[in-house]
Amino acid sequence: MTGGDVPDETQVGIIGAGPAGLVLSHLLKARGIDCVVLERHDREYVEHRVRAGVLEAPTVDLLRSLGLADRLDRESLPHRGIQIAFEDRRHHLDFLELVEPVAAGDPVVFEALDVEPADVDTDKPLIRYTHDGEHRELRCRIVAGCDGFHGVSREAVPDPIVFDRHYPFAWLGILAEAAPTQDELVYSGHERGFALYSMRSPTITRLYLQVPADETLDGWSDDRVWSELETRLPTEDGFVLNTGPILDKLITEMRGFVATPMRHGNLVLAGDAAHIVPPTGAKGMNLAIADVFVLAGILDDVLNHDRTERLADYTAGCLRRVWRAQHFSWWMTSMLHRFGDDPFQRQLQLSELRLVTSSANAARNLAQNYTGFPFDETFGG
């Protein structure tokens, strides 16, 4: 949008045009609530940035209900389950057997710089920012911080309680121009470290390797990456690893983080602004969308029915699911990664892997958590 097109006032000001912010804008529009999304990057960056690749069933259902699933239905690669590999063998977990079945948004201001939420503990909060070289203010009733872990929104919550866990390793990820050889992810708990085979399209694969937490990309040539993937993935049992030009490499920190409360005054946090999970459980984006599903219902009560007290329910309404996702992500990470050379812990991991791949009840527990609980489900504890 150009400077002259940007409104100066709205009901909800959303900071960040990632999955949480954009889905929230559509959820609010469906409820007749006006909002403006402020995004510091340009539109091309947002549209082409590689995001998480696994969508839970509730996330897909929500996108379809909002009319946002045309491309998803046209280009997605549905997964019937996953494969867990250890001791040179793959074990298939069929989620369909284990689990019971279950348009244009509001204005987006791209290249909104120096964004700063202000007066969030009053009835008239605002967001200051710069656009097209002009200093601007967006007056709103609610500020939604959907600007990720490194955004500015969480800084506006005074003295949050922070739970933080750093894992002693990272993921080296590649995006490769190589056709997938199958339609399911392979999680490999190898003696040399974890590896993950996944896919992004009929021509693109996404693969990961466990590396030390302080690893850099300098020592990882393309040949070394492919060699290590071929070692850690169980190619001896018939699995074929297609190779091709590597389009992108990155190293991802492994961390679990929760900051509470997720609301201060008329500022609410959603997605990575409030919590991050290790990517092993494929929960990050799905958890962000679950946050805004809860938030949209509360804002409907606040803005359309003058029930301002409902804002107090937001943190509790999200945190039970957040901690369930944290536990599942921790469990998957602990079961599949190498934590040093402790042979006792390695035998514990193998015992858990054998249980998950041989017990229907254990497999069902993994499948239920992986495919996702309904967004309206209440978690105990």
Q: Cα separation of 152 and 32, whole Å?
A: 27
Which residues touch 138 (CB under 8 Å, ≥6 apart)?
6, 7, 8, 9, 10, 13, 36, 38, 126, 127, 129
Length of the chain: 381
Residue 378, pLDDT score: 57
DSSP state of 82: E
Residues with catalytic function: 79, 187, 279, 283, 370
Regarding beta strands 193-201 and 185-190, do their DSSP bridges make them parallel or antiparallel, or are they unpaired? antiparallel
CB 132 within 8 A of CB 120: no
| pTM (2 d.p.) | 0.90
CATH code for the domain defined by 3-75+103-163+255-341: 3.50.50.60
Q: From first to last of the 381 residues of the chain, give the pLDDT tens digit.
A: 544 577 899 999 999 999 999 999 999 999 999 999 999 999 888 876 765 568 787 888 888 888 887 877 777 777 779 999 998 889 999 988 887 654 445 589 999 999 999 999 999 999 999 999 999 999 999 999 999 999 999 999 999 999 999 999 999 999 999 999 888 999 999 999 999 999 888 899 999 999 999 999 999 999 999 999 999 998 777 888 999 999 999 999 999 999 999 999 999 999 999 999 999 999 999 999 999 999 999 999 999 999 999 999 999 999 999 999 999 999 999 999 999 889 999 999 999 999 999 999 999 999 999 999 988 765 544
Domain positions in the chain: 3-75+103-163+255-341
C-alpha of 296 from chain center: 18
Residue 63, pLDDT score: 82
CB 20 within 8 A of CB 146: yes
CB 314 within 8 A of CB 301: no
CA atoms 206, 210, 211, 214: torsion sign = positive
Q: What number of CA atoms fall less than 13 Å from residue 307's CA on the CB side?
A: 12
List strands edge to edge, sheet with 267-269.
108-110, 35-39, 12-15, 142-145, 267-269, 263-264
List strands edge to edge, sheet with 185-190.
89-94, 81-86, 185-190, 193-201, 204-212, 161-176, 246-260, 275-276
